[in-house]
Amino acid sequence: MQEITRNALVEKASALLADGTVGRVLAWKRGEFDYDVTPAVFQTAEELARDLVWNDFCGANFSKYLIKETEKSDEKVLVFLKPCDTYSFNQLLTEHRFNREKVYVIGVPCAGMLDVEKVKKSAEGIASITEDSDKIVIETLFDGALTLDRASLLAERCINCKSKKHTAYDELLGEDGEVLDSARFDEVAAIEAMTPDERFAFWQNELSRCIRCNACRNVCPACTCEKCVFDNPASGLENKAASDSFEEKMFHIIRAFHVVGRCTDCGECSRVCPQQIPLHLLNRKFIKDIDNFYGEYQAGAEVGSRAPIVDYTTEDLEPNEAVERGDDNA
Amino acid sequence: MRKISLANLDALFAAIAAEETLYLPQDTEKGAVYAEWCEGATLSNALNTVRSPKDFFFPQTENLMDFKVEGKSIEIIDTRKECEDFVIFGVRACDVRSFEVLDRVFLSEPVDTYYKNRRDHGVIISMACTRPAETCFCQTFGIDAAAPEGDIVCHKTEDTLYLDAKTEKGETLLARLSALTEECDTSAVEAQQALIRERMAKLPLANLSASDFGADKTMEFFNRPEWKELSQSCLGCGTCTFVCPTCQCYDIKDFDTGHGIKRFRCWDSCMYSEFTRMAHGNNRLTQVERFRQRFMHKLVYYPTNNDGLFSCVGCGRCLAKCPINMNIVKVMKTLGGKDNG
Ligand code: SF4
Ligand code: SF4
Ligand code: SF4
Ligand code: SF4
């Protein structure tokens, strides 16, 4: 259960609209079902009162929407950010993707978001979902009510949350948290421990399910190219036809390389993948290697930092050393 | 009508697979998928497969033909393989209807012979839905989950599978399986149908109406201001179009192999910026127009060209998979006027 109530968000946003601080509000909007939440732009207090939701299904990260939203008018945009979202926010500012002056950030503490796929795996025919401290009560269409442990339904990125601390905000609702000691690299280590054949089989099994819908790329706050090479007919890489089984891997490998040092590990790619491919593992491998080779670095922890990969220092690892240490890890 | 005890289901599958390739929905860690039956495979109880069965007739990519270039001559190489007979088991009513939607596109003149070849060789065994999901709204489009279409229609109860042949193809297959099945009356199936219809009436989307949409309504909906708000957070990904059993748009791509050309057909998505790009550029410049295209096609353009038939079948896949939870139901409720409040 989230600590801050929905009403606190509605009141805050309505007050800032009323006094003219902001002209629009980016927040989560209620849908047909309790787990169905849409990112939306709100313009009036009535809309906020009617449709804003703040619950365990507000996973969507608004940072990337700010690129488009801040261009729309001169008014400021109010945005609610969870701790992990603020890292993407800072990274986008580092890359000069929008004007900070046009945004009013309210940080919202987060108790972790639920994974809709896990919820659906536990209950068929969902009539309603209610939160009751550390329990989730699911009313089903045919099997009565189920009471489940909230912890068992948490999204992977929330189980392995790296930080409850907001790295950017104008105002904070509730108390700020701390950077956490997460176990987020354990699964990467497990893959590193595989033999090359096992590792290939692991990724083959995962990536062969990819339908190239591009949801992972389009949601990614680090993927903000005006025209992705994969959409550009002039690039020679534009390709909707996976003519052989390597195509999907190439897409994911190129994408992973392109977000190296910029991926904040917000987890949006894995959240949106309709095929439940654990894409975050690719990016985490890079983060782990950077930490290991160049010292710990967290993209988006602050505005303006230079990722080790684009920042030369005389202490940098020599390439051969990286290869040897890479081998030790492999 | 014939029946077989569920205890003998494996024998039934083995008998089908002895002569035709049999595909069954099977469970994986990441949801149900259609996979070829082999000894030991079990039928999934999931309502729907993640990918729709349109893959069987309209695969995501397909090598249409090759061209071999030698000097000034070009040789055309037909790469198509004659399809072998196959059986798809357990197709839901919504997905069976999707084949009719695809047929009207690919089998009207000029007939798409690639599609037709697969369609001619496929036998569809459908399955009634005893446990519809909250995202199901097939009934909005007049589809009866209790009485699917298909070559053979199945009803599965606690202990028995009932099979009823509806077409010649179905009768031929069922006749071949007659040693394993026995004749029975329709009472058990009728009881199940009553239960299904009772359940369908209680679904959260049971009252969703399509009556405001349909043929010749283009001007009524095309310029509606709501498209802007509906599409405002759309990511322009292809998830909704690629999981949809009825989305049928494709692109044709030529790859230069150095000594010739490989020509592929692949799914396209109206949500993509390169969709229907022409020499003069693109006629849908922003996501508002791309988004509108998808829903206008399902609810207005397709019915206009196809005797009023909608090209959404209410399977709910896009409801389940859209990363931002925007979907056809929300579009219908926003634009659909009187009946949808
Ligand atoms: S979201 Fe998943 S299925 Fe879609 S392109 Fe990315 S990895 Fe592939
Ligand atoms: S409606 Fe949803 S699934 Fe479809 S393109 Fe937009 S974001 Fe992607
Ligand atoms: S539009 Fe959505 S509900 Fe309709 S057939 Fe396609 S995926 Fe199913
Ligand atoms: S939409 Fe209808 S036919 Fe399709 S799975 Fe749901 S209940 Fe069955």
pLDDT at A140: 97
Q: Which of A54, A68, A70, A40 is nearest to A12 (CA)?
A: A54
pLDDT at residue B264 in the model: 92
Residues in B closer than 8 angstroms to A40, CB to CB, are: 232-233
Q: pLDDT of B71-125, one tens digit each?
A: 899 999 999 888 899 999 999 999 999 999 999 999 999 999 999 999 999 999 9
3-state SS track over A148-193: EEHHHHECHHHHCCCECCCCCCCEECCCCCCECCCCCCHHHHHHHC
Distance between start and end Cα atoms, chain B: 43
ipTM above 0.90, yes or no: yes
Beta-carbon neighbour count of residue B55 at 10 Å?
A: 17
Count contacts between A and B (CB, < 8 Å): 121
Round the average pLDDT of chain B to a whole number and report it.
95
In the chain, the amino acid numbered A10 is V
Chain A interface test: which of B202, B232, B254, B326 (most A C-beta within 10 Å): B232
Measured torsion, CA atoms of residues B135, B139, B145, B150, in degrees rounded to the nearest 10: -120
Token look-up 């309209």 returns B58
* Contact indicator for B302, B101 with CB cutoff of 8 Å: yes
- Comparison of pLDDT for B294 and B253, the residue scoring more: B294
Q: B281 pLDDT exceeds 50?
A: yes
Closest residue in A to B250 (Cα) is A240
* Mean pLDDT for the stretch of residues B305-329: 97
B339 — pLDDT class (breaks 50, 70, 90): low
pLDDT of residue B338: 58
The domain segmentation of chain A, as residue ranges, is 6-114+157-172, 116-153, 186-324
Residue A317's pLDDT is 82
- Per-residue pLDDT band for B341 (boundaries 50, 70, 90) equals low
Phi-psi region of B258 (alpha: psi -120 to 50; beta: other; left: phi over 0): left
Task: Give the pLDDT score at A330.
Answer: 47
pTM to 2 decimal places: 0.95
Quote the CA–CA distance of A203 and A198 in Å, as a whole number: 9
State residue A314's pLDDT score: 85
State the closest ligand 2 atom to the C-alpha of B290, by its place in the atom list counted from 1.
Answer: 5
Return the pLDDT at B131.
Answer: 97
Encoding tokens for residue B76?
């055309």
* Segments in chain A below pLDDT 50: 330
Ligand nearest to the CA of A274: 1
